[in-house]
Amino acid sequence: MVDIILALLAILLFTKIAWVFQPVLDFFGIVAPPFILAGILYYLTVPIIDWLERHKIKRGWAIGGVFLLLFALLVWGILRFIPAIEGQVTNIMQTWPTYWKEFTTWLSDLNAKQTLISQKELNQLGAEITSAFQGKQGSLLTGTVSSIQNVIGIVGNVVVTVATAPIILFFMLKDGAHFTPSLIKLFPVKLRTGIGEMLTEMNTKVGSYVQGQITVAMAVAIMFMIGYSIIGLKFGLLLGLLAGPLNLIPYLGSALAMVPALIIGLTTSPQMFFEVILVFFIEWLLETQVISPFVMGSKLEMHPVTIVIVLLTAGNLFGLVGVILGIPGFAVIKIVVTRIFVWYQQVSGLYQEPETPPAEKDKTEAPQQ
């Protein structure tokens, strides 16, 4: 219940004063991406660095080895996957309107038998989605001056993020252990113990969430790519790779990843459609019963209703980044607010329970003679 109240208060606060934070949001929109990428890589690599350091390998050598491993994986991914993915992206952009037309035809036949919605509404829906997709495809392939500028800006941001994130990651791995003690010194002596415990709790919760979610997302992507390859689904590599990042969105990610796969499977053949469902069922079974319980460490202990509210709020304010990072961000806010509330309870004295009055003597006891 406390989580829900905090989420509703956050929604009310941001709707009233969102304009005040716009310059700050613009600044963080420029600075945050490399730090976010470096932070994600930090939580993924710091357990390896600490493990190597415990086995008598100097931290500098361990960091260098991890950087070489990441670079090798990046080069291998570029050489192995980028050409195949590029070809599938180009192909699916060209053929997707055809798949959607066949899918709407199937829906039309089904609707004619069941009379779910009017044929006019169904045709209008298909025309709008196809038109929107073709318009986006045209802007990417042909492009106007503004679209070219947008593409150049996006590419520039990606290049800056990829180039600066490793530098930030290096210093985070090298000096990360000194960050908390240095930050604690900024606070009064009486508060340092509580602040240190709060920062440690934040690091543990967020680190466990990031490590678990990224690991599960990678496992989901691999399982889908293998499963789609086995059944021979078209664009299986691209669809499986897309399922990994979408899995970072709680509850909704897996369903969103299944939609294009189901449409392509249905328009290919009824057998392929059921094979896609079978792949999804096997992946869901392995993820929920084996991978997630084994990989996920300490949970964020949030009510499902709270998660939905946070996703809606963060997605509306910050887009896709907010959807992905809203849960750990709210966990940090929850820790801070909870600590402040506990401190207020202790200082104010308003929440102390009254002392239990001493038990009255038994009135039925006979008076002493």
Per-residue pLDDT reduced to its tens digit, 100-131: 777 777 767 666 655 545 555 556 655 665 56
Mean pLDDT (whole number) for 233-247: 84
Instruction: Name the band, by pLDDT with cuts 50, 70 and 90, for residue 142.
Output: very low
Residue 21's pLDDT is 63
pLDDT value for 338: 84
Contacts for 295-298: CB closer than 8 Å, 24+ residues apart = 295/211, 295/212, 295/215, 295/216, 295/219, 296/208, 296/212, 296/213, 296/216, 297/208, 297/211, 297/212, 298/204, 298/205, 298/208
Which two tokens mark 163? 């180039």
Mean predicted lDDT score pLDDT of the chain: 75
Contact partners, residue 28, CB within 8 Å, separation at least 6: none
CB 85 within 8 A of CB 241: yes
Q: Are 228 and 283 in contact (CB under 8 A)?
A: no
Largest Cα separation within the chain, whole Å, is: 110
> Which backbone phi and psi does 185 adopt, to 5 degrees?
-65, -15
To the nearest whole percent, how much of the chain has pLDDT over 90? 1
Q: Where are the domains of the chain?
A: 192-347
Is the Cβ–Cβ distance between 206 and 331 less than 8 Å? yes
| pLDDT band per the 50, 70, 90 thresholds, residue 145 | very low
Entry pTM? 0.64
Rounded distance between C-alpha atoms, residue 130 and residue 136, angstroms: 10
pLDDT digits (tens, 9 = 90+) for 4-44: 676 677 767 666 666 666 676 666 767 777 888 888 888 88
Amino acid at 309: I
Written as six digits, the tokens of 368 are 């002493």
How would DSSP label each residue in 116-168?
Answer: -S-HHHHHHHHHHHHHHHHHHHHHHHT--HHHHHHHHHHHHHHHHHHHHHHHH
Environment class of 313 (CB within 10 Å of its CB; exposed 0-12, middle 13-18, buried 19+): buried
Q: Is the pLDDT of residue 61 over 70?
A: yes
Q: Are the CB atoms for 229 and 324 separated by under 8 Å?
A: no
**Positions of E strands within the chain:** none
Q: Is the model's pLDDT at 332 over the cut of 70?
A: yes
Contacts of 89-93 spanning 24+ positions with Cβ under 8 A = 89/238, 91/235, 92/235, 92/238, 93/137, 93/140, 93/141
From residue 60, give the alpha-carbon distance in Å to each of 65, 227, 228.
9, 40, 41
Contacts of 297 (CB under 8 A, 6+ apart): 208, 211, 212
Output the pLDDT for position 261.
86
